[in-house]
């Protein structure tokens, strides 16, 4: 190898050594700085060190009140606005809720008399000591006691009751200063989904227990204690157990929107399906319960009737396939006095005896009537003394009679 070759080899060795040195410095700088981005190394001609890594928690926006521009502030106790409203309702209404205990005398197996105790809830209506509860809570009771919010117990007397709407008014002689009446709201403006609050005495042991839920459905129809339908019933998923009967169903302002009366449950305990008689019905019934001791249910006078179906119409050769085929009318009732006819003869249809030949009720005040339950619900929406026009079919000819609603007799 010549001198020039040796010189070129030395120059190349020096160049390679410098290149290795530069690469080593760059690698060390990167290792020290941790400069990576999505797996891609980034080089910079400027020797400015990257900032030290820091962790900042992601800020969450504060919860807002639905339908308003207000912010649900968390107070010093950690409560939001919804919790504070429920707490406020409980603080205001719980003293109004009472525990109703009863003693009923039952006949034993050997016809001996055995006292049995029952329990339910109720709430104070006024400073005169009137308390509202369910009829089934006090039905048949020989002795009734009411325990107020301050744990004082007073004997109670029944002022009035209505089995159909499952309502009863009690009276206690308690000082006005320890009575805390509730505020009655309205049920006609309720919406499915709005908050529902229950305060009562489940199982007769846990006084003034609060549960919450929502209005699950409206305008349900239940069968009353006398077998007649109750309309406009409120359904809720707020927990209602035995002993809650007679307690208030409240809105988020603490106003009574119903009285808890029944649950649907195969086991007899809360299954998330509870029912309350609406407060609008309560306000309609209360004045007569206070004054007369009963509620006068308006009626036309039908004691028994068949709901006509297309099949029944075909079998009996009736001129219409809907309406009520009248079977029996109460004596002296509005329809009976208007010469409306019940069944005139009997016939055998399949394996059952049917009574035919009566007038067919088609409508009342222009409202078509297809079942007895529909007629009963229609009657409850009116008052005694109201004149109504009843459309009837007799022998294929339409006729109308005008009658005034009267009080339905006790059965």
Bigger pLDDT: 207 vs 122: 122
Quote the pLDDT of residue 46: 39
Three-state SS at 77? coil
CATH no. of 298-407? 2.30.42.10
Please enumerate in sequence order all residues whose Cβ is within 8 A of that of 249, keeping only pairs 6 or more positions apart, or say none.
196, 197, 198, 234, 236, 238, 256, 257, 258, 259, 260, 276
Q: Taking 80 as the threshold, does the pLDDT of residue 247 lie above it?
A: yes
Instruction: Over range 281-299, report the average pLDDT.
Output: 93
Determine which one of 121, 216, 245, 333 is catalytic: 245
C-alpha to C-alpha distance for 276 and 263, rounded to whole angstroms: 9
The three-state secondary structure class of 178 is helix
Query: Looking at residues 379-394, what average pLDDT do you find?
Result: 93
pLDDT of residue 83: 85
Tell me the pLDDT of the chain averaged across its residues.
81
Q: What is the pLDDT of residues 21-43, one digit of tens each?
A: 444 444 444 333 443 333 333 33
Active-site pick, 136, 187, 216, 251: 136
Q: Which residue among the candidates 162, 166, 251, 280 is catalytic per the annotation?
A: 166
Percent of the chain with pLDDT over 90: 56
Q: In the beta sheet, which residues pair with residue 390?
A: 364, 401
Of 108-112, 140-144, 320-324, the least confident: 108-112
pLDDT at 193: 93
- 156 C-beta neighbours (distance < 10 Å), count: 27
| 81-295 against 298-407: fold identical | no
Indicate if the pLDDT at residue 112 is higher than 70: no
Q: HSE of 115 in the Cβ direction (CA atoms, 13 Å)?
A: 7
Instruction: Give 63 or 217, the one with higher predicted confidence.
Output: 217
CATH number for region 81-295 = 2.40.10.120
Q: What is the pLDDT of residues 55-79, one digit of tens each?
A: 333 343 444 444 444 445 887 777 7
Q: What pLDDT, on the 0 to 100 scale, is given for residue 53?
A: 43
Q: Is 245 a catalytic residue?
A: yes
Q: Can you give the pLDDT at residue 127?
A: 93
For 352-369, how does the pLDDT look when each residue is reduced to its tens digit (9 = 90+)? 888 999 999 999 999 999
What is d(CA 369, CA 356) in angstroms, rounded to the nearest whole number? 19
Size (the chain), residues: 411
Q: Give mean pLDDT, residues 74-96.
A: 86
Choice between 131 and 348, residue whose per-residue pLDDT is larger: 131
Residue 152 in contact with residue 270, Cβ under 8 Å?
Answer: no
Give pTM, 2 decimals: 0.73
Domain ranges of the chain: 81-295, 298-407
Q: What is the pLDDT of residue 37?
A: 38
Active-site annotation holds for 96: no
Provide the pLDDT for residue 140. 87
Q: What's the average model confidence in pLDDT over 234-263?
A: 90
Q: Is 173 exposed, middle or buried (0-12, 13-18, 19+ CB in 10 A)?
A: exposed
């Amino acid at each position: 190898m010549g001198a020039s070759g040796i010189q070129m080899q030395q120059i190349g060795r020096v160049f390679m050594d410098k290149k290795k040195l530069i690469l080593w410095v760059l690698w060390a700088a990167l290792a020290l700085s941790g400069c990576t981005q999505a797996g891609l190394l980034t080089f910079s001609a400027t020797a400015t060190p990257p900032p030290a890594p820091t962790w900042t928690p992601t800020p969450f926006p504060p919860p807002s009140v639905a339908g308003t521009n207000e912010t649900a502030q968390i107070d010093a106790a950690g409560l939001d606005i919804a919790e504070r409203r429920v707490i406020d309702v409980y603080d205001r209404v719980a003293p109004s809720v009472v525990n109703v205990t009863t003693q009923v005398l039952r006949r034993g197996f050997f016809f001996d008399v055995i006292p049995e105790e029952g329990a339910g809830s109720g709430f104070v209506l006024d400073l005169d000591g009137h308390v509202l509860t369910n009829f089934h809570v006090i039905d048949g009771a020989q002795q009734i006691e009411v325990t107020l919010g301050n744990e004082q117990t007073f004997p109670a007397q029944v002022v009035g009751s209505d089995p159909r709407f499952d309502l009863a008014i009690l009276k206690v002689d308690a000082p006005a200063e320890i009575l805390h009446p509730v505020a009655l709201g309205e049920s006609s403006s309720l919406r499915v989904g709005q908050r529902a609050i229950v305060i009562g005495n489940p199982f007769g042991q846990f006084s003034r227990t609060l549960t919450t839920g929502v209005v699950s459905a409206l305008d349900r129809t239940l069968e009353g204690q006398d077998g007649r339908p109750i309309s406009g019933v409120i359904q809720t998923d707020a927990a209602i157990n035995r002993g809650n009967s007679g307690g208030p169903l409240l809105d988020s302002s603490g106003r009574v929107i119903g009285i808890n009366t029944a649950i649907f449950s195969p086991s007899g305990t809360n299954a998330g399906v509870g029912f309350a008689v609406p407060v609008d019905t309560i306000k309609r019934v209360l004045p007569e319960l206070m004054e007369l001791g009963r509620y006068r249910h308006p009626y036309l006078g039908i004691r028994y009737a068949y709901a006509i179906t297309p099949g029944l119409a075909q079998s009996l050769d009736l001129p219409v396939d809907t309406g009520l085929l009248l079977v029996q009318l109460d004596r002296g009732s509005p329809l009976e006095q208007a010469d409306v006819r019940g069944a005139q003869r009997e016939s055998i249809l399949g394996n059952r005896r049917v009574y035919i030949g009566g007038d067919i009720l088609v409508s009342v005040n222009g409202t078509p009537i297809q079942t007895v339950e529909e007629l009963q619900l229609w009657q409850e929406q009116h008052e005694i003394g109201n004149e109504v026009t009843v459309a009837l079919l007799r022998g294929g000819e339409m006729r109308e009679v005008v009658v005034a609603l009267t009080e339905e007799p006790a059965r």
